[in-house]
Amino acid sequence: MRGWLIFPLLMLFSAVPIEAGEIRGTGDLGVVVERAKGSLQVIETSGNSVLGRIDGLGDLSHASVVFSRDERYAYVFGRDGGLTKVDVLERRVVARVIQSGNSIGGAISQDGRLIAVSNYEPGGVRIFDAETLDPVADIPADYGEGQRSKVVGLVDAPGNRFIFSLWDAGEIWSVGMSDPENPVTTKYRDVGKNPYDALITPDGRYYIAGLYGEDGLALLDLWYPERGVKRILNEYGKGEQKLPVYKMPHLEGWAKAGRHLFIPAVGQHQVLVVDTDNWQEIDRLAVHGQPVFVMARPDGRQIWVNFAFPNNDTIQVIDTRDLKLVETLKPGKGVLHMEFEPRGGEVWVSVRDIDRLQVYDTTDFSMLADRPAEKPSGIFLSARAHRTGL
Amino acid sequence: MRGWLIFPLLMLFSAVPIEAGEIRGTGDLGVVVERAKGSLQVIETSGNSVLGRIDGLGDLSHASVVFSRDERYAYVFGRDGGLTKVDVLERRVVARVIQSGNSIGGAISQDGRLIAVSNYEPGGVRIFDAETLDPVADIPADYGEGQRSKVVGLVDAPGNRFIFSLWDAGEIWSVGMSDPENPVTTKYRDVGKNPYDALITPDGRYYIAGLYGEDGLALLDLWYPERGVKRILNEYGKGEQKLPVYKMPHLEGWAKAGRHLFIPAVGQHQVLVVDTDNWQEIDRLAVHGQPVFVMARPDGRQIWVNFAFPNNDTIQVIDTRDLKLVETLKPGKGVLHMEFEPRGGEVWVSVRDIDRLQVYDTTDFSMLADRPAEKPSGIFLSARAHRTGL
């Protein structure tokens, strides 16, 4: 089933061997979510080609993916509560559980042994064995008088911790999983109204949640957890009424370059520059539309930005050296995601409305590859296995 | 030949399948240099076990290793000028060339297509095709009136560049290899007397060379190459006469955590803390001996230090939060190298004189594994494939 069906089609645009189950390295592999089909495309970045497809993954709207520590397996978090473990080398589903009715993301523990999923319904976090997908722990997001909250902004953190936010409760929880039988939960209350998404900085130190219900951001410094959650950037989110907000920005995409954090303004055609030494906003950069993903090239020298509808045919690139716009690209309608190769020389772009997957050189901005894909959205390269918060 | 010979021996201390040539991921693999035997041990970090051995690599004193972009192949740079490509999955030598008489290190280009080797004799850099090891370019380190220099401190940099230093000439050269047929060399002259080693910061921005012949360090900011090389830390190296210098510190091991660079003092029982915003020394930390490797845990929260003879039975750990010593470990005589797993939860340590390879938990400092190895020195995990300067 898995290799030969797609072989004739892939022959047309692949120069490398594409047999499933071959002996090969996994450091240059990746998957692309094809939302409409409920499938993943398996890609490789050495020849920028498509290797094959894995079907049967359910509802992949807003799906995300993490990788096993050996970079062989991808864990796919579907909106329908499906958690699927796929073998990227053999291109097949290894295990699949429907773990809730409505899910919004997941994470893999620092040691690679645990998969956590954050759920809307029933609200909470469920934790599974990465090997088998057997249930390990269930952490209902209970608060107040028998209420249960939707959970968002789930990330992994150093010390085998998972951190997440409770939309309804306005809380941030940190769960230590060093002993999987006995999760140790620390709760931070009254962090702000309706946290809607969060990020962890690449060094695993700062957890930052966006607040839908009020201005500013909630910051937890994991080097000093006893200091609790504080509010930063009190102006953040203010004025989002001035323009309709087409899409809440993805916090996962915030970019840290040196001491600067680049974050999408809510509802504004701006990228904000924040000094992480004092959490003050130091600049606002005018861009083409409402930013969705604001991502740093791995060396921190460039920031790549895509935009919400109706400006989602465009990518802009900012040079962090002088905070100047250096390039505007027009890949086509529906630029949904960008993923840098780990050493930053090339970047993959999904262009949903024209069913294309494109690869660009980040030095001269030339297009290096242009492949068909069915309504591609998220792109996830296996190098994420080695990173915190991805 | 390759799998079954070593199988019975390895059965004794491995719990995972160890057959060579199996289908498996490569993100959790690594190699350990066994200097005396001229061999590599192949290890995996998920079960902290030894998978097998690759023999026939020549003189591996001072050997270093880089990984292919797919994490399947390791390129081994031997002191005897041997460049060997090994297949870590199948555990065999794929290609081997004796490319010079005396070599001191190598690098892999950002795009993964080129391998560069720096040579003492004949002095210069040779560049090879990563696939075949066919020669691509030869860059003799000529200077002055028909003189040729030994080359040291070779690293890769963003934009498919290689940067290196000329020991005899006191120069730093930057070679652009975007067009492999036409290397473009930029030479920085009079950078200081006898550069002996160098590092590039993890973001690929700063190239810093140590100077044997005078005090201070030579800094090239690759974001502003037109500004040339400047001298920083003018006190660096001063006073090394006060104590005998048992071993020049490895610059590769310098650690960046946040805006701080941690560097070994030359000949002193100290680690220096440097602010990379202004390149001023801001602190000196007293440690157990003359530091050799000063390495940051990937999250930047800890600095691990090993020491020169006669203090080479010890590792010390510094918490970067308050610059305080938090742990002193005694792995045994001859601690030569330390390598963090990419997400930082565990660290591998080679202990030459007692022929052991040890793994420690970086949170509670417990020993997680203790494996036999023949005079182990350098440890190289495949995650280096995704990093600049490693």
In SS3 terms, chain B reads as: CCCCCCHHHHHCCCCCCCCCCCCCCCCCEEEEEECCCCEEEEEECCCCEEEEEECCCCCCCCCEEEECCCCCEEEEECCCCEEEEEECCCCEEEEEEECCCEEEEEEECCCCCEEEEEEEECEEEEEEECCCCCEEEEEECEECCCEECCEEEEEEECCCEEEEEECCCCEEEEEECCCCCCCEEEEECCCCCCEEEEEECCCCCEEEEEECCCCCEEEEECCCHHHCEEEECCCCCCCCCCCCCCCCCCHHHCEEECCEEEEECCCCCEEEEEECCCCEEEEEEECCCCEEEEEECCCCCEEEEEECCCCCCCEEEEECCCCEEEEEECCCCCEEEEEECCCCCEEEEEEHHHCEEEEEECCCCCEEEEEECCCEEEEEEHHHHHCCCC
Mutate to test the interface with A, among B129, B299, B301 (most CBs of A within 10 A): B299
Is B367 part of any domain? no
Task: Report how many Cβ contacts below 8 Å link chain A to chain B.
Answer: 154
Predicted TM-score (pTM) above 0.95: no
Q: Which of B178, B342, B346 sits opposite A386 (nearest CB)?
A: B342
Both tokens of A33, joined, read 């979510």
**Cα separation, A207 vs A218, whole angstroms:** 8
pLDDT for the residue B14: 37
Percent above pLDDT 70 for chain A: 91
Mutate to test the interface with A, among B203, B261, B359, B382 (most CBs of A within 10 A): B203
Contact B117, B83 (CB under 8 A): yes
Contact A142, A150 (CB under 8 A): no
- Beta strand segments in A122-241, E: 124-129, 135-140, 142-143, 147-148, 151-157, 161-166, 171-176, 184-188, 195-200, 206-211, 217-221, 229-232
Question: Are the Cβ atoms of B343 and A110 closer than 8 angstroms?
Answer: yes
pLDDT for the residue A13: 36
Is B299 part of any domain? yes
**Cα separation, A62 vs A159, whole angstroms:** 28
pLDDT in tens, chain B (390 residues): 333 333 333 333 333 445 677 899 999 999 999 998 999 999 999 999 999 999 999 989 889 999 999 999 999 999 889 999 999 999 999 999 998 878 888 999 999 999 999 998 889 999 999 999 999 999 999 999 999 999 999 999 999 999 999 999 999 999 999 999 999 999 999 999 999 889 999 999 999 999 988 889 999 999 999 999 999 998 887 655 545 555 566 666 678 778 899 999 888 999 999 999 899 999 999 999 999 999 999 999 999 999 999 999 999 999 999 999 999 999 999 999 999 999 999 999 999 999 999 999 999 999 999 999 999 999 999 999 999 988
Q: Tokens 């290894």 appear where? A: A94
Cα dihedral B174, B178, B179, B185, rounded to 10, equals -10
Both tokens of A90, joined, read 């053999």
Q: Is A47 helix (H, G, I), strand (E, B) or coil?
A: coil
**Cα separation, B334 vs B355, whole angstroms:** 9
Average pLDDT over all residues of chain A: 90
- How close is the nearest chain B Cα to the Cα of A30, in Å? 11
Reported as a pLDDT band with limits 50, 70 and 90, residue A16 is very low
pLDDT at A243 over 60: no
Q: Which of A24, A224, A300 sits opposite B70 (nearest CB)?
A: A24
pLDDT for the residue B6: 32
Is B83 part of any domain? no
Residues A82-141 pLDDT 10s: 999 999 999 999 999 998 878 888 999 999 999 999 998 889 999 999 999 999 999 999
What stretch of H or E contains A338? Answer: strand A335-340
Q: Which of A71, A203, A258 sits opposite B27 (nearest CB)?
A: A71
- How close is the nearest chain A Cα to the Cα of B20, in Å? 10
Both tokens of B206, joined, read 């700063």
- B264: cis peptide before it, omega within 30°? no
**Cα separation, A329 vs A365, whole angstroms:** 8
**Cα separation, A102 vs B214, whole angstroms:** 65
**Cα separation, B217 vs A359, whole angstroms:** 39
What stretch of H or E contains A244? Answer: none
Question: Are the Cβ atoms of A299 and B385 closer than 8 angstroms?
Answer: no
Q: Which of A28, A112, A343 sits opposite B46 (nearest CB)?
A: A112
* Among A214, A213, A216, A218, CA closest to A230: A218
Is A204 part of any domain? no
- Looking at the DSSP bridge assignments, the partners of residue A370 are A358
Question: Are the Cβ atoms of A46 and B321 closer than 8 angstroms?
Answer: no
Both tokens of B116, joined, read 């560069």
Is A271 part of any domain? yes
* Among A107, A300, A109, CA closest to A199: A107
- A140: cis peptide before it, omega within 30°? no
Percent above pLDDT 90 for chain A: 78
Q: Least CA distance to A158: which residue of chain B? A: B345
pLDDT for the residue B248: 60
- How close is the nearest chain B Cα to the Cα of A314, in Å? 24
Reported as a pLDDT band with limits 50, 70 and 90, residue A381 is very high
Residue A168: CA count within 13 A, CB half-sphere = 18
- How close is the nearest chain B Cα to the Cα of A36, in Å? 29
Is A279 part of any domain? yes
Number of other CB atoms surrounding residue A182 within 10 Å: 9
Mutate to test the interface with A, among B29, B43, B70, B161 (most CBs of A within 10 A): B70
> What's the rounded mean pLDDT across residues A352-363?
98
First to last CA, chain A: 31
Mutate to test the interface with A, among B49, B71, B75, B88 (most CBs of A within 10 A): B71
A311: domain CATH number is 2.40.10.480
Question: Are the Cβ atoms of B26 and A21 closer than 8 angstroms?
Answer: no
Q: How far is CA A219 from CA A154, A172, A304, B23, B149, in A?
A: 14, 10, 24, 43, 53
Contact A222, A204 (CB under 8 A): yes
User: CB-based contacts of A40: which residues, under 8 Å, 6+ apart?
Assistant: A31, A32, A33, A34, A53, A54, A57, A65, A74, A76, A86
Q: What is the longest distance spanned by two Cα atoms in chain A?
A: 61
Positive/negative CA dihedral, B15, B21, B24, B26:
positive
Q: Least CA distance to A67: which residue of chain B? A: B27
Question: Are the Cβ atoms of A158 and B111 closer than 8 angstroms?
Answer: no
Q: Tokens 């040779």 appear where? A: B126
Reported as a pLDDT band with limits 50, 70 and 90, residue A20 is confident
pLDDT for the residue B4: 33
Q: In what order do the strands lie in the sheet with B49-54?
A: B49-54, B39-44, B29-34, B376-381
Q: Is A348 helix (H, G, I), strand (E, B) or coil?
A: strand
Reported as a pLDDT band with limits 50, 70 and 90, residue A9 is very low
Is A354 part of any domain? no
Question: Are the Cβ atoms of B25 and A70 closer than 8 angstroms?
Answer: yes
Question: Are the Cβ atoms of A28 and B223 closer than 8 angstroms?
Answer: no
Residue B178, Cβ density class (10 Å: 0-12 exposed, 13-18 middle, ≥19 buried): middle
Q: Are strands A291-296 and A280-286 parallel, antiparallel or unpaired?
A: unpaired
Number of structural domains (chain B) is: 1
User: CB-based contacts of A258: which residues, under 8 Å, 6+ apart?
Assistant: A300, A320, B203, B259
Reported as a pLDDT band with limits 50, 70 and 90, residue A62 is confident
**Cα separation, A269 vs A290, whole angstroms:** 5
Reported as a pLDDT band with limits 50, 70 and 90, residue A148 is very high
How many residues are there in chain A?
390
pLDDT for the residue A252: 65
* Among B92, B97, B115, CA closest to B105: B115
pLDDT for the residue A328: 98
How many residues are there in chain B?
390
First to last CA, chain B: 32
Q: How far is CA B214 from CA B170, B211, B237, in A?
A: 11, 6, 8
Question: Are the Cβ atoms of A46 and B72 closer than 8 angstroms?
Answer: no
Q: Which of B25, B223, B224 sits opposite A26 (nearest CB)?
A: B25
Question: Are the Cβ atoms of A72 and B342 closer than 8 angstroms?
Answer: no
Question: Are the Cβ atoms of A363 and B111 closer than 8 angstroms?
Answer: no
8-state DSSP, A9: H
- How close is the nearest chain A Cα to the Cα of B145, in Å? 37
- How close is the nearest chain B Cα to the Cα of A1, in Å? 19
Is B309 part of any domain? yes
Can you give the residue range of the structural domain that contains A293?
A: 248-330
